[in-house]
């Protein structure tokens, strides 16, 4: 359990210190005065979504085995296909 906690902490730290995430944070910091309030809010949302997504991805790799990850991805694909079928009226 301790090893998992440490791995989760490392995954989160890796996401925060990711080069792309750091570039986005730097751009926000250095260009904030040149943005309108709406532009800044949108940029913050994109930055936050990117950081959260990367963190979730890295944490998933810590908590799931490769076979569990494959099973999860297959389930997501199935649900995506079902959603597309419903939207297209293919209720077979």
Show me where the domains of the chain are located.
2-87
- In the predicted model, is pLDDT for residue 92 greater than 60? no
What pLDDT digit, counting tens, does each position of 6-44 carry?
999 999 999 999 999 999 999 999 999 999 999 999 999
Distance CA 23, CA 83 (A): 36
Cβ neighbours of residue 50 closer than 8 Å, sequence gap 6 or more: 20, 21, 24
Mean pLDDT, rounded, for 67-79: 90
Distance CA 81, CA 90 (A): 11
**Residue 69: per-residue pLDDT:** 84
Distance CA 90, CA 28 (A): 45
Distance CA 92, CA 83 (A): 12
Share of the chain above pLDDT 90, in %: 68
């Amino acid at each position: 359990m301790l090893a998992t906690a440490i791995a989760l902490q490392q995954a989160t730290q890796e996401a925060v210190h990711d080069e792309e995430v750091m570039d986005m944070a730097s751009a926000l910091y250095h260009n904030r005065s040149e943005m309108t309030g709406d532009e800044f809010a949108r940029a913050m949302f994109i930055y936050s979504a990117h950081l959260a997504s990367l963190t979730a991805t890295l944490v998933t790799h810590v908590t799931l085995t490769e076979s569990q990850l494959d099973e999860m991805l297959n389930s997501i694909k199935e649900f995506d296909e079902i959603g597309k079928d419903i939207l297209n009226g293919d209720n077979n």
